[in-house]
Protein backbone atom coordinates (compact mmCIF):
# COMPACT_ATOMS: atom_id res chain seq x y z
CA UNK A 1 0.00 0.00 0.00
CA UNK A 2 1.42 3.39 -1.02
CA UNK A 3 0.42 6.27 1.21
CA UNK A 4 1.63 9.76 2.05
CA UNK A 5 4.39 10.09 4.63
CA UNK A 6 3.31 11.04 8.13
CA UNK A 7 5.63 12.72 10.69
CA UNK A 8 5.39 9.62 12.89
CA UNK A 9 7.04 7.62 10.07
CA UNK A 10 10.37 9.42 10.39
CA UNK A 11 12.22 6.88 12.55
CA UNK A 12 11.05 3.96 10.38
CA UNK A 13 12.01 5.88 7.27
CA UNK A 14 15.53 6.48 8.62
CA UNK A 15 15.76 2.77 9.53
CA UNK A 16 14.87 1.76 5.95
CA UNK A 17 17.22 4.37 4.49
CA UNK A 18 20.22 3.21 6.55
CA UNK A 19 19.49 -0.50 6.02
CA UNK A 20 19.46 -0.06 2.25
CA UNK A 21 22.01 2.73 1.79
CA UNK A 22 24.96 1.56 3.86
CA UNK A 23 25.37 -1.87 2.21
CA UNK A 24 23.96 -0.79 -1.16
CA UNK A 25 26.34 2.12 -1.63
CA UNK A 26 29.48 0.71 -0.05
CA UNK A 27 31.63 2.76 -2.43
CA UNK A 28 31.26 5.48 0.22
CA UNK A 29 32.13 4.77 3.87
CA UNK A 30 29.37 4.15 6.39
CA UNK A 31 30.42 7.34 8.23
CA UNK A 32 29.43 9.37 5.16
CA UNK A 33 25.87 8.07 5.34
CA UNK A 34 25.61 8.33 9.13
CA UNK A 35 26.72 11.96 8.93
CA UNK A 36 23.90 12.64 6.45
CA UNK A 37 21.13 11.44 8.78
CA UNK A 38 20.46 14.85 10.42
CA UNK A 39 20.14 16.50 7.01
CA UNK A 40 17.77 13.79 5.80
CA UNK A 41 15.67 14.06 8.94
CA UNK A 42 15.70 17.85 9.44
CA UNK A 43 16.18 19.33 5.97
CA UNK A 44 15.04 16.91 3.27
CA UNK A 45 11.98 15.38 4.92
CA UNK A 46 10.24 18.70 5.64
CA UNK A 47 10.53 19.89 2.02
CA UNK A 48 10.10 16.61 0.12
CA UNK A 49 6.89 15.03 -1.08
CA UNK A 50 7.41 11.59 0.45
CA UNK A 51 5.45 8.41 -0.21
CA UNK A 52 5.83 5.22 1.78
CA UNK A 53 5.01 1.58 1.16
CA UNK A 54 3.53 -0.40 4.00
CA UNK A 55 3.54 -4.18 3.96
CA UNK A 56 1.44 -5.76 6.71
CA UNK A 57 1.67 -2.55 8.74
CA UNK A 58 5.45 -2.21 8.38
CA UNK A 59 7.09 0.66 6.50
CA UNK A 60 9.31 -1.20 4.00
CA UNK A 61 10.05 1.36 1.26
CA UNK A 62 9.79 5.05 0.53
CA UNK A 63 10.35 7.64 -2.17
CA UNK A 64 11.01 11.34 -1.65
CA UNK A 65 10.22 13.66 -4.54
CA UNK A 66 11.56 17.15 -5.01
CA UNK A 67 9.14 18.25 -7.69
CA UNK A 68 9.94 16.01 -10.70
CA UNK A 69 13.17 14.62 -9.17
CA UNK A 70 13.21 11.40 -7.18
CA UNK A 71 15.50 12.59 -4.41
CA UNK A 72 15.59 9.13 -2.90
CA UNK A 73 13.95 5.76 -3.35
CA UNK A 74 14.83 3.06 -0.84
CA UNK A 75 13.51 -0.41 -0.05
CA UNK A 76 14.58 -2.33 3.02
CA UNK A 77 16.84 -5.22 1.89
CA UNK A 78 14.43 -7.79 3.38
CA UNK A 79 11.70 -6.50 1.05
CA UNK A 80 13.59 -5.90 -2.19
CA UNK A 81 12.46 -7.70 -5.33
CA UNK A 82 8.77 -7.55 -4.37
CA UNK A 83 7.79 -4.69 -6.69
CA UNK A 84 7.70 -1.92 -4.08
CA UNK A 85 10.31 0.23 -5.83
CA UNK A 86 8.67 -0.18 -9.23
CA UNK A 87 5.30 0.77 -7.71
CA UNK A 88 6.84 3.94 -6.29
CA UNK A 89 8.36 4.83 -9.68
CA UNK A 90 4.95 4.38 -11.29
CA UNK A 91 3.45 6.58 -8.58
CA UNK A 92 5.97 9.29 -9.49
CA UNK A 93 5.13 8.85 -13.20
CA UNK A 94 1.45 9.45 -12.42
CA UNK A 95 2.31 12.71 -10.66
CA UNK A 96 5.04 14.23 -12.87
CA UNK A 97 6.13 14.27 -16.49
CA UNK A 98 9.01 14.01 -16.95
CA UNK A 99 10.51 12.27 -13.90
CA UNK A 100 14.22 12.39 -13.12
CA UNK A 101 16.47 10.56 -10.66
CA UNK A 102 20.09 11.03 -9.58
CA UNK A 103 22.12 7.90 -9.04
CA UNK A 104 25.80 7.41 -8.34
CA UNK A 105 27.55 5.98 -11.36
CA UNK A 106 29.16 3.40 -9.04
CA UNK A 107 25.76 2.17 -7.85
CA UNK A 108 25.30 -0.54 -10.46
CA UNK A 109 22.34 -2.19 -8.71
CA UNK A 110 20.36 1.06 -8.63
CA UNK A 111 21.27 1.85 -12.24
CA UNK A 112 20.00 -1.58 -13.34
CA UNK A 113 16.78 -1.07 -11.37
CA UNK A 114 16.09 2.34 -12.89
CA UNK A 115 16.88 1.12 -16.41
CA UNK A 116 14.39 -1.75 -15.93
CA UNK A 117 11.83 0.86 -14.91
CA UNK A 118 12.40 2.74 -18.18
CA UNK A 119 14.90 5.44 -17.22
CA UNK A 120 17.43 6.61 -19.80
CA UNK A 121 20.57 8.75 -19.56
CA UNK A 122 19.97 12.45 -19.35
CA UNK A 123 23.06 14.09 -17.83
CA UNK A 124 26.26 13.30 -15.93
CA UNK A 125 27.69 15.47 -13.15
CA UNK A 126 29.96 15.32 -10.12
CA UNK A 127 28.34 15.13 -6.68
CA UNK A 128 29.54 18.10 -4.62
CA UNK A 129 29.61 16.24 -1.28
CA UNK A 130 31.44 13.09 -2.35
CA UNK A 131 33.26 14.15 -5.52
CA UNK A 132 31.90 11.03 -7.24
CA UNK A 133 30.19 11.00 -10.64
CA UNK A 134 26.41 10.87 -10.70
CA UNK A 135 24.05 10.16 -13.53
CA UNK A 136 20.80 12.00 -13.91
CA UNK A 137 18.33 9.68 -15.56
CA UNK A 138 14.99 10.60 -17.13
CA UNK A 139 11.99 8.32 -17.16
CA UNK A 140 11.24 7.71 -20.80
CA UNK A 141 7.72 8.00 -22.12
CA UNK A 142 5.87 4.71 -21.89
CA UNK A 143 5.74 2.79 -25.13
CA UNK A 144 2.32 3.21 -26.70
CA UNK A 145 0.24 0.11 -27.22
* CATH, residue 14: 3.40.630.30
Which residues have a Cβ under 8 Å from the Cβ of 83 and sit 6 or more positions away?
Answer: none
Q: Which domain holds residue 56?
A: 2-139
What percent of the chain is modeled with pLDDT above 90? Answer: 81
Q: Is position 102 within any domain? A: yes
Q: Is position 61 within any domain? A: yes
Q: Is position 144 within any domain? A: no
Q: Is position 54 within any domain? A: yes
Contact 76, 60 (CB under 8 A): yes
Q: Is position 145 within any domain? A: no
Query: What is the domain count for the chain?
Result: 1
Q: Is position 22 within any domain? A: yes
- pLDDT tens string 33-81: 999 999 999 998 899 999 999 999 999 999 999 999 999 999 999 999 9
Amino acid sequence: MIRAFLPGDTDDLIRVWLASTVPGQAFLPEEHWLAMEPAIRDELMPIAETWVVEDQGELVAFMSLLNDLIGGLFTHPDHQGKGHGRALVEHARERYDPVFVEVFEANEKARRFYRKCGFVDHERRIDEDSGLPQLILRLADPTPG
